[in-house]
Structure 1
Amino acid sequence: MVETFVLADGAATPAGSSRDLATASAALPTGAYTTLRTYGGDGVPFLDDHIRRLEESSALQGRPAPLDRARVRAGLAAALRATRHPESRIRVTFAPPELFASIEAFEPLPDRLYEDGASCVTVPLRREMPQAKDTRFLSPAQGAYRDLPAGVHEGVLVGEDGALLEGLSSNVFAVMDGVLRTEDERALHGTTRRFVLELARGLVPVSLEAVHQSDLPRLAEVFLTSVSREVLGVVRVDGVTIGRGKPGSLAKDLR
């Protein structure tokens, strides 16, 4: 169950319940969004980065508006106290001047998926504005998830040139010829992506250029990053085995 709140003046006012985050988002005005998770019950890492991205996404939508950091923090804290989950997954929607938080209990992915690795397929979907987290992307992304074959964890968006751009709700990284590569200009800059890039630059050479579908047999490893997944190794893309068919060492080190 998802509980939605209106955040205003440091307070959280209940605004309804939904069966899942997709349904909750569909009931709200169109706007910018970001997804958070808690650690230790009420800790939200990189919250300022998430707030800044809400402002940037809203500006790209033609609705520039500032957010008061202290009031957002206070409102989120009030909403978390009201829901009282051990850990929470939160989708914040900014439709100026309104700000909403939809909260559900956070359920981590099974350890087995991290041990064995995930499978992905490419999907015929692209963001209209790659640098903006626009709620209008959520419905087609949800439809793409429903269409994924059984056993496939994530869909990967592909550029006209065959570049692997990003996942439906993740960023995509690949290691080829000893270099960690990820798309830059045509992909959303996730907060976990930024943190992983900072860590990775101390471990391996990094290139902000995507790998392509034709490169799949050459890749030593692939992994996804997102707030909910953190770092998740990928062992197959479009049926092609990545590396040795197990999550790679870099993904394990970064996790």
Structure 2
Amino acid sequence: MGVFQVDGEFVAADQAVLPVSDLAVLRGYGAFDFLRTYGGKPFHLDAHIRRLQNSLRLLEISCPWSIEDLRQRVEQTLARNDYPEANIRLLVTAGDSDDSITPGQKPRLLIMVTPVKTFPAAWYEDGVKIVTADVTRYIPGAKSIDYIRAILCLRHAHEAGAIESVYVDDRGRVLEATTSNIFAVIDGQLATPGEGILPGVTRDVLLDLAADVYRPAIRSISREEVYGAEEVFLTSSNKEVLPVRQVDDRPIGTGRPGPMTRALMDLFRRHTKTY
């Protein structure tokens, strides 16, 4: 059984609880971040902590913990678990409320460590199907715990035989997926959206790795451009670099992972091995 940290106390995972008076329970008010380890080391931990702090700022939830404090708490919780590789979730709630809606002054911090779960090898060898949805997120720069839209979009995606749903705004611009960022190779140019999204840490790492060779463009991408792209792939902490073979009813390129996607998958894999 794993060990979590809840409000500064270490508890068995199956004993970790929040009071029903917490605004995370009552109103879905809170923020989180998610990362994994490679070789037992949290991957770009400080970047994830900074993103969490920014989410809290955007949601106007106080953050009394410094980067150093959060880093130590993560490392302490990780040390109390014994997994070959681990997922780490940091979650900050707005705490208790006197009137069930107004935040108090004592946010709660939860750090959850669980074993990494792998996805089917066929996803990476053959690519996956994704769908699009005419949906946008409220305060997209904040990684809020409000995932109602994402849950419903993923349900519809699974019903369509897809593994992800990509949001599209009212101008037809592709934004991001429910738990991933999207890249496309269009007319030989690697591109990814930059506005109206939550910038992923894996996305940022890949942009840095690809900068010198592929010179990626951060720009608006239309749904029609994605349909006509030579290659499409997703990035996230748990999916890493995941090739896409089909978007809605449109096959992408040859219907197989393309050469740039495969090269970037290998580049990212080598980065994680030496991180």
- Describe how 1:100-249 pairs up with structure 2 within 5 A: 100-136=110-146, 138-148=147-157, 149-249=159-259
CA distance in 1: counterparts of 2:30 and 2:39, whole angstroms: 29
> 1 CA distance for matches of 2:220 and 2:2?
36
Could you give the per-residue CA deviations for residues 92-124 of structure 1, whole angstroms, max 9, x where no partner exists? 112363211123221111222101001100123
Structure 1: gaps of 5 or more residues? 19-25
Give 1:90 deviation, angstroms: 2.0
Contact 1:7 1:99 in 2 (8 A): yes
State yes or no: 1:87 paired with 2:104. no
Render the CA deviation track for 1:178-222: whole Å, top value 9, x for unaligned.
Answer: 211111121111101111111222122322113212223421100
1:141 maps to a residue whose letter is: A
The DSSP-based 3-state class of the residue aligned with 1:243 is: coil
Aligned mates of 1:157, 1:17 — CA distance in 2: 36
Q: Which has the larger radius of gyration?
A: 2
TM-score (normalised: structure 2): 0.81
CA distance in 1, matches of 2:7, 2:182: 32
Paired residues of 2:2 and 2:13 also in contact (CA < 8 A): no
Match of 1:73 in 2: 71
Q: Matches of 1:67 and 1:165 in 2, distance apart? A: 31
Gaps of 5+ in 2: 17-23, 95-106, 266-275
Q: Partner residue of 2:38?
A: 39
Distance 1:216 1:64, change over 3 A: same
Structure 1 residues 33, 4: CA separation in 2 closer, same or farther (over 3 Å shift)? same
1:68 Cα offset (Å) = 2.3
Q: Which amino acid aligns with 2:132?
A: T
TM-score, normalising length: structure 1 = 0.86
The residue that corresponds to 1:21 in the other structure is none
Q: CA RMSD in A?
A: 2.3
Distance 1:90 1:157 in 2: 25
Paired letter, 2:130:
C
SS at match of 1:224: strand
Asked if the contact 1:12/1:76 (under 8 Å) is kept, the reply is no
The amino acid across from 2:48 in the alignment is: H
Alpha-carbon distance between aligned partners in 2 of 1:60 and 1:81, rounded to the nearest angstrom: 31
- Per the alignment, in what secondary structure is the counterpart of residue 71 of structure 1? helix
Q: Which sits farther off after the overlay, 170-179 or 67-76?
A: 67-76
Shift of 1:150: 5.0
Superposed displacement of residue 76, structure 1: 1.8
Q: CA deviation at 1:4?
A: 4.1
Distance 1:7 1:225 in 2: 31
SS in 1 for 2:61: coil
The 2-side partners of 1:189 and 1:83 are apart by: 29
Residues in 1 aligned to 2:25 and 2:5: alpha-carbon distance in whole angstroms: 12
In 2, Cα distance between the equivalents of 1:47 and 1:34? 10
Aligned residues: 244
Describe the shift of the 1:235–1:39 C-alpha distance in structure 2 as closer, same or farther (beyond 3 A): same
Q: Given residue 253 of structure 2, which amino acid in structure 1 is its aligned partner?
A: G
2:181/2:200 contact within 8 Å kept: yes
The residue type equivalent to 2:129 in the other structure is: S
- Note the 1:54-65 alignment, pairs <5 A: 54-65=52-63
8 Å Cα contact 1:182/1:210 also seen in 2: yes
- Answer whether contact 1:4 1:16 (CA < 8 A) is retained: no
Identity of aligned residues (%): 36
